[in-house]
Amino acid sequence: MNIMVKLTYNLEQIDTAATFLLHHTKSKIILFDAAMGSGKTTLIKAMAKHLGAFDEANSPTFSIVNEYETPDAKIYHFDLYRLKNFYEALDFGIEEYFDDPQAYIFIEWPKVIEAILPLNSQKIRIIVNENDSRELQIL
């Protein structure tokens, strides 16, 4: 898949990376296809902050979905690492989240639900560079 745009950023530039991604995405459903420890959660939290999310209601050790309220819309942050198959996602009602056009939906480990993802979802990748900075690729 072609890279549309990319940005290299370190931890001090996380807010820049968050706004960059929010401005370049074609969809409010964003799929974070990246390795363990690459910075998915860190980037999603910075995006939530930029969107005006109030303090996190849920515990930082949420299991599958973490919900953030903003003045304009809800943000649903999914971590599907522990999901075995997409039937488990259907069981907890993931399609109802997709049906909310206002909602932002940020998904870590999206591969397991590939078969049921909306076609307009935005794929992104994060690559860890040798100097520990990250390359954000919007596909």
Ligand X SMILES: Nc1ncnc2c1ncn2[C@@H]1O[C@H](COP(=O)(O)OP(=O)(O)O)[C@@H](O)[C@H]1O
Binding site for Mg ion (CB under 5 A): 40-41
Asked if residue 19 binds ligand X (CB under 6 A), the reply is no
Per-residue b/e over 23-44, b at no fewer than 16 CB within 10 Å? eebeebbbbbbbeeebbbbbbb
Q: Select from 7, 41, 50, 103 the one that contacts ligand X (CB under 6 A).
A: 41
Q: Select from 30, 34, 80, 89 the one that contacts ligand X (CB under 6 A).
A: 34
> Considering just the CA atoms, what is the radius of gyration of the chain in Å?
14
- 119 or 123: CB nearest Mg ion: 123
Alpha helices in 25-118 (DSSP H): 40-50, 86-91, 94-98
Asked if residue 77 binds ligand X (CB under 6 A), the reply is no
Which has the closest alpha carbon to 31: 93, 113, 100, 103? 113
- 28 or 40: CB nearest Mg ion: 40
| Nearest-CB residue for ligand X | 39
Q: Select from 1, 36, 115, 119 the one that contacts ligand X (CB under 6 A).
A: 36
CA distance 25 to 45: 16
- 124 bridge partner residues: 32, 138
Select the binding partner of residue 77 from ligand X, Mg ion, none (C-beta < 5 to 8 A, by kind): none
Which residues lie near ligand X (CB under 6 A)? 9-11, 34, 36-42, 132-134
